[in-house]
């Protein structure tokens, strides 16, 4: 197995991978998902929170992702819900701050 | 095409401790079958780009069969996997041959028309793109959407980062194409 090395200085870079066919850094797909979030926030308002999973499920998704199932998340609902997306982003930011302060 | 590691292709094989032989022999079988699978995919479909999907599907079927039988050695497992790979290649070829072209390109509008229902279309497209994927892939993409790193996603799914990224690569490419299409339209 060839081990590929990347000297990228970009902050989100993955420097070592065992699989050369995968892009060496994931900045590109970070951008893709950021754009997707922006799109969902702009185009899928859901003030009545129709079909939204319970906020505790989203909190669990951030805290213990291995404990959450697709059924609990109402499958792909989050990809079409600005409210869930916003809450997820907030929870993720909170977790980052908590981890940084620890 | 480079050979993915057997661990990458067998990432979804989960067996009880008394059936660990399945994963062990399958890894050997994958190594043995890969060149033939690549060749078969290429000769049947004209390209080998779907060989990973084909082998993964064959592995899933092989696991189902092996779980119900007595332990086997690498050789019979290789033969079984090879047969399943060829069956999957034939199945895909039959499915492709059933596609029918309706009308001609001349009947298409001269340039893309701004669709007032684009928001709904987008939602439908995303669902269509991802509904065909394995539930673990959909969950991985939801986690990525939630700003988890690939290493964290791999840990949550109990696999390696390389394996989960390979598994999600196709879906991400489709999403990227869709997003680029949206940008061109707007």
- Quick one: three-class SS letters along chain A? CCCEECCCCCCCECCEECCCCCCCECHHHHHHHHHHHHHHHHHCCCCCCCCCCCHHHHHHHHHCHHHCCCCCCCCCHHHHCHHHHHHHHHHHHHHHHHHHHC
Q: Hey, is the C-beta of B139 within 8 angstroms of any chain A C-beta?
A: yes
pLDDT for B121-135, tens place per residue? Answer: 455 456 677 777 888
Closest Cα partner for B179 from A38, A41, A10? A38
Q: Do B175 and A36 touch (CB under 8 A)?
A: yes
Q: Which residue of A has its CA nearest to B163?
A: A19
pLDDT tens across B57-111, in order?
888 888 888 888 888 888 999 999 888 888 888 888 777 666 666 666 666 665 5
Q: ipTM of the assembly?
A: 0.74
| Cβ–Cβ contact B143 with A under 8 A | yes
Q: What is the C-alpha separation between B173 and B164, in angstroms, rounded?
A: 14
Question: The whole model's pTM is what?
Answer: 0.52
């Amino acid at each position: 197995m060839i081990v590929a090395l990347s000297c990228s200085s970009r902050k989100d870079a993955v420097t070592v991978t065992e699989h050369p066919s995968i892009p060496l850094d994931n900045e590109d797909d970070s951008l893709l998902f950021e754009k997707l979030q922006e799109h969902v926030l702009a185009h899928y308002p859901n003030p009545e929170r129709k079909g939204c999973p319970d906020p505790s499920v989203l909190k669990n998704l951030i805290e213990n992702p291995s404990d959450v199932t697709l059924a609990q998340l109402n499958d792909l609902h989050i990809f079409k819900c600005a409210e869930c997306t916003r809450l997820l982003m907030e929870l993720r930011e909170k977790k980052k701050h908590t981890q940084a302060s620890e | 095409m480079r050979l993915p590691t057997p661990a990458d292709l067998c990432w979804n094989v989960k067996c009880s401790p008394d059936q660990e032989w399945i994963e062990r022999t399958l890894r050997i079988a994958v190594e043995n079958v890969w060149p033939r699978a690549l060749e078969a995919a290429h000769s049947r479909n004209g390209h080998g780009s779907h060989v990973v999907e084909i082998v993964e599907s064959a592995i899933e079927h092989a696991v189902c069969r092996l779980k119900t039988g007595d332990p086997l050695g690498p050789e019979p497992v290789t033969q079984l996997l090879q047969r399943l790979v060829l069956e999957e290649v034939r199945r895909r070829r039959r499915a492709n041959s059933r596609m029918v072209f309706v009308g001609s390109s001349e009947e298409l509008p001269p340039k893309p028309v701004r669709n007032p229902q684009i928001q709904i279309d987008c939602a439908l497209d995303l669902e269509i793109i991802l509904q065909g994927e394995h539930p673990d892939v959909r969950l991985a993409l939801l986690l990525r959407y939630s700003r988890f790193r690939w290493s964290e996603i791999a840990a949550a799914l109990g696999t390696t980062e390389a394996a989960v990224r390979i598994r999600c690569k196709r879906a991400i490419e489709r999403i990227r194409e869709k997003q680029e299409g949206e940008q061109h339209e707007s």
